[in-house]
Structure 1
Amino acid sequence: MRPSITIPLPSWKLLALTGLLGFNQCVDTITIDLDSDTIDNLVINGKLVKGNPSYAVAIISRVIYYNPGNENPLNVKYVDIVDDLGNRIPMFRTEAYKYEISIPQNDPVFQIEEGRRYGIIITTSEKTYASDLDELLPVTPILDVSYSVGTEHLFESNGPGYDQDVVNFSASSSLIDLNQNPSRIRWEAAYTYAVSDTAHKTCYVNQSIIDDQIRIYDGSSVQAAMVNEQLYQIPVSYDFAEGFYLTLYQEALSVSAYSYWEKVKTIIERNGNMFEVPAGKIQGNLHNEADPSELVFGNFYVTQQDTFRLYVDPADVGNPVTYCPYGPYVNGERIYTECAHNCCDCLRAANSTTTKPDFWKK
């Protein structure tokens, strides 16, 4: 008989399948049926990205962990990035479950170079976990990113639904790397939009695009030098009213890293529900060094990224209504409400700044 756990949603933390730490804010509770042999299993998801500087990030938790008062839930002592020469560099805990490190390009001890292999070692008070070493491959370039505006009909459970204007983003990418080898790639994206508050201050808000889709492509599976894919669809809203930049990141994946993301993609598409237990059992390249039979979920990989930014002009998407002034409507006209939401100070918005990004040319 499988046990179950009932968790008040404002406090529980669940490791999502894609390696992202999900934080849900609801007022209800949820009961999840679990296999007793998976509740306490370790989940490690992370990557090392070559750049200037290079950086590594890792999320370390359990399949289900419910103890909000414990700031170091796994009693982790050390988290290190290692290379194929035996060098180590420590990561630092920046949040309860998150470890990070920035590595300068000219670091005298730990250098990130194409063709070499890297991994992660996690030392707790009782055990040591390690990943297989992953090879850093050259990344192929993003050739172009474009967008088009369309309309989607969205359905409602208790009504006929409604039409929503959307912006569809597509990318063209090379599939052959500098060594003339086919490339396996993964895409992720973020966006930055401008918003002006009622004090006539302009903020730039940065948002990562996090959804339930895994965007990967195996260049070795086709006889083609490039690929064109529609990757993202974003509803038209005030985010586009004062200027909008999409930032697309393209990662080079090793065979093992691609295999892991392919498993995640297959299970998400099959189940469509991240709470189903079989979907949580995704093993990557991690193991308990003293007990290889212990199930360790997640994956650690090394990559480098190509970046492409695309500006969307408000006029191209119908000049959406600006966020501020925010307030009630009378006869279709919006009336200013003092200090409504973020309109007194747009810096209240998460991940906002008044410093214009270097790439913002408009």
Structure 2
Amino acid sequence: MLRRFIYLIFLLPVACIDPFEVGLETGEQLLTVEAVFTSQPGRQTVRLTRSDTYGSVFEGLIRPVRSATVVVRDDLGNVVFLEEDQEDRGTYVTTTDFATVPGRSYTLQIQTIEGKVYSSFPEKVQAVPEISNLSVQTTTVPVEGEINPRSGVQLVVDIQDPAGENNFYFWKNGPAVYVLETRPDLFTPRPSDTNPSREPQPKPCCFTCYRNEQIDNSGIFIANDDNFNGLSTKIVAGFVEDDGLRFVNTYRVDLRQISISQDAYRFLRLVKQQTEISGSVFDPPPANIRGNLVNLEDPEEVVLGYFIAGAETVRRIYIDKNDLTFQQPKSIIPDDCRLVEGAQEDAPADWNP
């Protein structure tokens, strides 16, 4: 028995396992186009990237498409060339005064550095009604395992829908500014040779600043007028999350209301359905949602994204902290508010709560 045990001891070190190499095929690089052109004069942008079919959770698989030729044409033959932003490669911009015109149709054309040519289908710009009123309502969402729910304000629009025509709406949050309150009197530097015990070193300034931000929509807000054609209606058109800083004092945001085509509405509705999948067994399988762009030489190539051309109206609202029925605990920034990204000491020239 002892002899067998000794043999096993000698055999174990020489045993080996052949490594198993896993070979994963590289996903197809898909062209993705993000572009929303409106009648609001300003720099309109086209964002071009290539993303892998495995998804953006894999680092490095989304790459900007550089040095492309990007052109917008209307139905009257007018041509506008977009220039690539050298500081944000893959983003192409128009002149500062470009604006769409209701009644006109626009087509986006792209030629990549490899010589591939893509074109959108024409998008006709429909007129957009004004926002009669913009109000807010507080909303909360329970979070499993957390005492405090997520919360924020929903932006609610009142619109008078035009009668006798089909209208499709798309809302986006515009630029925002809010009063930022910090606590420089609580400033404590990191440990150093001169301050090993991390004793507080209060700063005399500044407690209050005005912070600019551009927050992305936390969802897709769209509507069609099938149920309110020609009527006045209220619609939830946006959301701003309470992060413990935004609604401590006063918050200002511009809401953009954009008219879109029926095809653009269908595309955004499908994207909305995919992004709101709950993860249950009853959810439809995720799929690549094709937009309105095609490769002129290879129509079977999948191109992601959509070129939207519409008319736009903007409504501004100031939200006071007392307008909320629920607020998150105040977040503490123990430093000079001027050191916070996007903050400045002076109020904007057009600040008028």
TM-score by length of 2: 0.72
Match of residue 181 from structure 1 = 165
Whether 2:146 is the aligned partner of 1:146: answer: no
Which residue of 1 is the match for residue 77 of structure 2? 86
Select 1:114's aligned residue among 102, 117, 137. Answer: 102
Q: CA–CA distance in 1 between the matches of 2:59 and 2:159?
A: 44
Partner SS, residue 102 of structure 1: coil
Return closer, same or farther for 1:286/1:320 CA change in 2, 3 Å cut-off.
Answer: closer
1:227 to 228, 233, 243: 233
SS in 1 for 2:38: strand
State how far apart, in whole Å, the 1-side matches of 2:220 and 2:273 are.
9
Match of 2:47 among 35, 38, 59: 59
| CA spacing shift, 1:69–1:216, aligned 2, 3 Å | closer
**How far apart, CA to CA, are the structure 2 residues paired with 1:163 and 1:236?**
11
- AA in 2 matched with 1:171: V
Corresponding residue number in structure 2 for 1:39: 28
Q: Residue 141 of structure 1: CA displacement?
A: 1.4
Q: 1:267 to 1:321 in 2, by over 3 A?
A: closer
Matched residues in 2 for 1:123 and 1:41: separation? 15
1:289 paired with 2:282, answer: no
1:169 to 120, 140, 155: 155
Mapped partners of 1:187, 1:85: distance in 2: 28
The Cα offsets for residues 124-176 of structure 1, whole Å up to 9 and x where unpaired, read as 122111111211111111121222345543322xxx63346643432222221
For structure 2, the residue ranges without an aligned partner over 5 or more in a row are 1-23, 185-204
Q: Structure 1 residues 175 and 35 mapped into 2: Cα distance closer, same or farther (>3 Å)?
A: farther
Alignment of structure 1 residues 183-202 onto 2, 5 Å = 183-190=167-174, 191-196=176-181, 198=184, 199-200=205-206, 202=208
Q: Quick check: 1:347–1:354 contact (8 Å CA) kept in 2?
A: no
Q: Identity of counterpart residues, as a percentage?
A: 21
* 1:240-279 pair list within 5 angstroms: 240-270=247-277, 279=286
TM-score (norm 1): 0.70
2:142 alignment partner, SS class:
strand
Q: Larger deviation: 315-324 or 167-176?
A: 315-324
Separation (CA, whole Å) in 1 of partners of 2:284 and 2:112: 26
CA RMSD of aligned residues (A): 3.4
Deviation string, structure 1 residues 38-71 (Cα, Å, up to 9, x no partner): 63121112121212x243211111122889699x
The aligned counterpart of 1:213 is 219
Report the secondary structure of 1:154's partner residue. Answer: coil
Contact 1:115 1:135 in 2 (8 A): yes
Residues 184-234 of structure 1, C-alpha deviation per residue, up to 9 Å, x if partnerless?
A: 101111432112554237432233332552110011454451331234263
> Do the aligned partners of residues 203 and 299 (structure 1) sit closer, same or farther apart at CA in structure 2, a change above 3 Å counting?
same
More strand by share: 1
